[in-house]
Structure 1
Amino acid sequence: MTAAAYDAMAVRYAEFARDVWDASPMDNAALAAFVDHVRGAGPVADLGCGPGYLTAHLRDAGLDAFGVDLSPAMIEIARANQPGLRFEVGSMAALDIPDASLGGILSWYSMIHTPPEEVPGYFAEFTRTLASGGHVLLGCFESDGEPLTVFDHAVTPAYRWPLDELAALARDAGLTELGRVYRVPGENERFRRGALLLRKS
């Protein structure tokens, strides 16, 4: 369902997302911290890479980055935009990545559509594929003091998470929180945003 929804919106979404990253210095700061932690640690997977803009950013920052996305249409756009990078169709629930092979994982708003009961399995895959000491940067819509709630995302329904709950699920999977970022909604944004920096214990 999520893959089909993004397939249908792929071209439009790629246009929308092209410059959205540049609008938030706080998001850029979170990504810069992640890059500093994973530099030289091995391959970095951009999971839920969409059109591949952040995968290219990681590459330009000197990382050995590649992208994975559930949507074949998104991967087609990513490959066309960045022919020098590797992009694969795949699910975060069952990654075609060897055990303990990654230095880092970027999961930037790529779990927002995941039903809450499936999130522990995603974190388990992160732990399985990360080398010891590997890092994860996870971005999400934050609940702003409310319980976990679903909302009408432009592509398909998505979730707003309390960061404490996400951090607890990550901890149960063997990922230790190093830090977090909250930011208020920017122009044309509805909800508060959150990010977690995690490390495999």
Structure 2
Amino acid sequence: MSDWLADTRDSYDTVAVSYADLTRGLLDGLPHLRAALRLFAEEVSGPVVDVGCGPGDITALLHGFGVDVSGIDLSPAMIALARESHPGLRFEVGSMTEPIGGELGGILAWWSLIHVPDELVPVVFGHFREALRPGGLLQLGFHVGDRTNRKTEGYGGHPMRVDVHLRPPDRVAGWLRDAGFTVEARWLFGENGEDGAVLFARRG
């Protein structure tokens, strides 16, 4: 396992409980993001994997919308919390840097690509394309910007060692097109669209 991947896993193992406490119910006050998830649920057909699912709350929300969904996360501690909080759903330890199976109808990757270095994003998108059936739907959520921040503390003050990559939507869309996706829509959030973006893309 590469150093950045090990650091990401260990960091989220450390903050898992605090992260779950701080983010629980977060979408209750974010109607635009809930709408993005609902639209994804309405448009997707077939099994879905929530990649970087964390404590599983978004996975459970999709399930509540009627989606056949399971979750994977790099952090074993996050997966343990997800299984405890949502015992009726399927969660496994896994990484988007490795193949994630096949014949999926959809993939959700919300604010999990943010720790992947630029040079590996095309590799990840290649795995996503291989996992999706033709016409399969991909929804990405990420921080908007053009810089990398080093995160050494977070979620309750616990130590972390992760890079957080903020990226322009045009760059992410270009990587998607190069990987064989058609970008169907872009949603920008926050003042001047600088807080975050959600991209809807479909496998060709």
Secondary structure, aligned partner of 1:136: strand
Larger % of strand: which?
2
Matching residue of 2:164: 158
Matching residue of 1:188: none
* CA RMSD across the alignment: 1.2
Secondary structure, aligned partner of 2:113: coil
Larger % of helix: which?
2
Matching residue of 1:113: 115
Shift of 1:25: 1.3
- Runs of 5+ consecutive residues of structure 1 not aligned to the other structure: 186-190
Matching residue of 2:184: 178
Counterpart of 2:195, as a letter, is R
Written as runs of structure 1 = structure 2, the 5 A alignment for 1:86-101 is 86-97=90-101, 99=102, 101=103
Q: How many residues align?
A: 188
Q: Please state if 1:142 is matched with 2:144.
A: yes
Shift of 1:152: 3.7
**CA distance in structure 2 between the partners assigned to 1:112 and 1:179 by the alignment:** 20
Q: Please state if 1:123 is matched with 2:129.
A: no
1:140-178 per-residue CA deviation (whole Å, 9 max, x = no partner) reads 0011xxxx2102443422011100000000110011101
Counterpart of 2:141, as a letter, is G
For normalisation by structure 2, the TM-score amounts to 0.89
Bigger mean CA deviation after superposition, 87-96 or 173-182: 87-96
Matching residue of 1:5: 11
**CA distance in structure 1 between the partners assigned to 2:59 and 2:18 by the alignment:** 19
Secondary structure, aligned partner of 2:114: coil
Counterpart of 1:151, as a letter, is N
- Runs of 5+ consecutive residues of structure 2 not aligned to the other structure: 1-6, 155-159
For normalisation by structure 1, the TM-score amounts to 0.90
Matching residue of 1:104: 106
Identity across the alignment (%): 43
**CA distance in structure 2 between the partners assigned to 1:85 and 1:142 by the alignment:** 31
**CA distance in structure 1 between the partners assigned to 2:8 and 2:52 by the alignment:** 11
